[in-house]
Amino acid sequence: MAREASKEAVARKQQQSIYARQRVVISGVTPEIADGRYPIKRARDERVRVEADIFADSHDALSAVLLVRRQKDDRWNVLSMRSLVNDRWYGSFLVDEPGRYVYTLQAWVDRFKTWRRDLKKKVAAGQDVAVDLLAGAELLENAASRAKEEVADRLKGYGDILRGDRVTEVKIRTAFSRDLLRLMIMNPDRRFATTYHKQLLVVVEPRRGRFSSWYEMFPRSAAAEPQRHATFKDCENRLPYIAAMGFDVLYLPPIHPIGQTNRKGRNNSTVAEPDDVGSPWAIGSQEGGHKAVHPLLGTLDDFRRLVQKGAESGIDIALDLAFQCSPDHPYVKEHPEWFRQRPDGTVQFAENPPKKYEDIIPFDFECDAWQSLFDELLSVVQFWIEQGVHIFRVDNPHTKSFSFWEWLIHTIKIDSPEVIFLAEAFTRPKIMYRLAQLGFTQSYTYFAWRNTKWELEEYFQELTTSPVAEFFWPNLWPNTPDILTEYLQTGGRPAFIVRLILAATLGANFGIYGPAFEKMVDTPIEFGTEEYSDSEKYQIRFWDMNRPDSLKDLIARVNRIRHENSALQQDRNLIFIPVDNEQLISFGKYTEDRSNIVMMVANLDPHHTHSGWVDIDFEKLQLEPQQPYQVHDLLSDARYLWHGGRNYIELNPQVMPAHIFRIRKKVRTERDFDYFM
């Protein structure tokens, strides 16, 4: 025991000795979420830029590096950092596969850089540097002791020159040689380096997590004729239509058997008629639960075929993940311990007073049998992954345990890092952000209710320029089966068009609930509500897919614009452009090298023509103030030649309520021929 205590004392003393000589401070690290508690988020093949305040006492030169590794690896990659101003440093690294990465920082007083810097000043001042050259030789010899054999020999050779009888000019040239600097950078003296006290995480999502276009469709309403419950085969037949509009994710509400007890009738009636099909979110019957499909839709084999056919069309099938049950779900009888019991002996149904959902029973995430409940719900996700599903839209995640989601998503992504989770959490901002921190890839937003210019600008500046942007990826939906906003109810065709264009260009991820959107369905069940009349949530709807007034062609064009312009495939590059009319909003996006610049202008008033002057920021967009530039309207294919920063816009919503401009710079060829690129 005494010997072990002595070893511990020696180790502590050695650590104290090192700590006492650590002169560098590392603070103010960005990005860092919640003091390092949660990871930041990036998509595959994106770069992570890390900044920090790094400084030390005195005037010595410093060196700093980023230490980066995949979480599953042991070996760190060492990447140099560079200084900015005011003791701020930065570095970056590429994340090239889905999963988790770890990064931290290390910095030290660099005696060689300090010596080299000071030597340069003394030489410039004409001072005698003989002793300084000897000091440099000592630094090289110390570095040689840390280096591999071949490099060590070269460093010793350089040291011999500094110590030898060569003329001073040769020694000075040697001291400043680039090769020597490179060798010394490769073999630094980091004995007293300061390592940042946290190891920070990056969750890397698949590319579709960063950029996607979603289309929501009730599979039972996909039949080609009225009054028939559609099948997965009918959904297959709808795939070319969806692909032609440019969508790459087809989201299906729950496809499971639907309970009979307390089944809801049409328009959310509490009394169902014999032929009423019920709400798909009332999951479970004697025919099965969360791992079964509704028998009228088909079989699991039919569903797997739909997933395969979707992939052939470039479409991923996303499933609704609704962790709740109908009273008829097998879980209710087999595992009553997973549900909350009321004093009268009945199971507690779902409520959001004064609303009641008598056809749905929530799980009790605080029950004593929580571990078996967690494990079973995990197995549900794993089951559908085995069927080929890698995208889940999660119903009301904010009504379930935070710790459950953190555990489930992390567990799933260990073996399936390509899986995407979209949080349908229309709730308070802090809760929405916490869910994103816990692992949700994307989230619904308040976009549907942000209609005025100041609301949109304020909200999207928060989402794209604050620390929220490091972990919260918005998915913008102008409508859902639960949300038919007043703006869409009263604005007619122009309202649907402008909300489509705003959703598709303000955000890299967006979606629509169709065919209600492209058919411009705008009738609520009653004035003052956002509920659709004859909602698909409670009945089968027949859709005429060939209506001549459909927005499908415009939607296809907008999606094509998104795919052809990489500036629209990210969020943090959003800027708002001043325009002197509160009914007009203008904003832009651009790639880092400004090879792709897109500018949007939209009339927020669906009823009246509005005009105004937009002010282009030449410096931000890296345009030449004296050169004309072309604005190419990608919606109409019209082209305009603009001069200067202030230009006139007029938008008649009955014609087209928005522009999507590609800004093209003037380029001169070798033959003195000008064109716009």
**Catalytic residue IDs:** 395, 424
C-alpha 416/C-alpha 100 separation (Å) is 12
Structure-token pair, residue 149? 């054999």
Q: Using alpha carbons, select from 51, 410, 418 the residue that is nearest to residue 204.
A: 418
C-alpha 432/C-alpha 397 separation (Å) is 9
Q: Are strands 316-321 and 249-252 parallel, antiparallel or unpaired?
A: parallel
**The tokens 């955000």 sit on which residue?**
507
| Radius of gyration over every alpha carbon of the chain, rounded to an integer in angstroms | 31
Q: Is the link from the previous residue into 429 a cis peptide, with omega within 30 of 0?
A: no
Residue type, position 535, single letter: S
According to DSSP, the residues that pair with 26 across neighbouring strands are: 54
Q: Under a CB-based contact definition with an 8 Å cutoff, are residues 248 and 315 in contact?
A: yes
Q: Using alpha carbons, select from 655, 663, 612, 657 the residue that is nearest to residue 634.
A: 663
Residue type, position 503, single letter: A
Number of continuous H segments (helices) and E segments (strands) in the chain:
17, 32
State whether the Cα torsion 211-217-223-226 is positive or negative: negative
C-alpha 116/C-alpha 479 separation (Å) is 64
Q: Under a CB-based contact definition with an 8 Å cutoff, are residues 501 and 561 in contact?
A: no
Q: Using alpha carbons, select from 474, 477, 476 the residue that is nearest to residue 464.
A: 474
For residues 380-389, b (16+ Cβ closer than 10 Å) or e, as one string? ebeebbebbb
Q: Under a CB-based contact definition with an 8 Å cutoff, are residues 661 and 635 in contact?
A: no
C-alpha 191/C-alpha 208 separation (Å) is 44
Count CB-CB contacts under 10 A for residue 22.
16
- Coil, helix or strand at residue 521: coil
From the number of C-beta atoms within 10 Å of its C-beta (0-12, 13-18, 19+), residue 277 rates as buried
Name the strand (E) or helix (H) holding 317: strand 316-321
Q: Using alpha carbons, select from 182, 537, 590 the residue that is nearest to residue 360.
A: 537
Q: Could you say which DSSP state residue 337 is in?
A: G
For residues 422-451, b (16+ Cβ closer than 10 Å) or e, as one string? bbbbbeeeeebbbbbbbbbbbbbbebbebb
C-alpha 300/C-alpha 290 separation (Å) is 12
Q: Under a CB-based contact definition with an 8 Å cutoff, are residues 252 and 217 in contact?
A: yes
**The tokens 């927020």 sit on which residue?**
604
Cβ neighbours for 210, distance < 8 A, ≥ 6 positions apart = 43, 46, 473, 508, 509, 569, 570
Structure-token pair, residue 461? 């500046």
- Coil, helix or strand at residue 123: helix
Count CB-CB contacts under 10 A for residue 47.
10
Q: Under a CB-based contact definition with an 8 Å cutoff, are residues 79 and 65 in contact?
A: yes
- Helix ranges restricted to H, 466-566: 486-506, 552-564
